[in-house]
Homo-oligomer: A and B are copies of this chain.
C-alpha cells in the first residue's frame, strides 16, 4: 500500500495496486483503461503510476456504465465531455448517469418486447417467416413462405 499521511490515515495518492484493490478491477485492467483513454494519472520519480483519489469514482462510474450496457468507447466519449479533463464531480455524474439511465431504459424495453413476443410465440410455435414477430423483428413483410 502507498504510504499513508499521518493525519487522515488515508493515502492522498494511490498506486495502481491501491486502486485495483479498492475499485475491484485488476491492475492489468487499469493499464488497459489507460491505453483506451478512460483513466489517466501522473508518474512519480520512479515512473510508477500515481492517481488522485478521484480515480476511484471514475472507475466506479466506468463499471456502472458497463453494466448499463455501454461500450468502453461510449464511456470514454461521455467522460471526455467533462470540462478541462477534470475528474467527474457529483454534478457530472448526475448528468452522465441520467443519459445512461435512458439508454438502459431503451435496452430494457427491447428485451421486454422480445419477452412478450416469446410469450406469444411459445404458444403458437409457428415461427412463420413473414408473420411471426420473433422472426421478423423489423416488421418487414416479404413474400410469404413458411419455414417448416
Contact = CB atoms under 8 A, between A and B. Distances in A.
A97 interface: yes
A84 interface: no
A147 B115 contact: no
Contacts of A54: 148
A145 B60 contact: no
A107 B97 contact: no
Contact-residue size bin, chain A (C-beta under 8 Å from the other chain): 35 or more
Interface residues of A, dominant DSSP? helix
Interface in A52-69: 53-54, 56-57, 60-61, 64, 67-69
A112 B100 CA distance: 13
B108 A61 contact: no
A56 B68 CA distance: 33
Given A93-B127, A104-B111, A125-B90, A53 B118 contact: no
A64 B122 contact: no
Given A60-B147, A148-B57, A115 B122 contact: no
Interface of A: 10, 22, 53-54, 56-57, 60-61, 64, 67-69, 90-91, 93-94, 97-98, 100-101, 104-105, 107-108, 111-112, 114-115, 118-119, 121-122, 125-127, 129, 134-135, 137, 145, 147-148
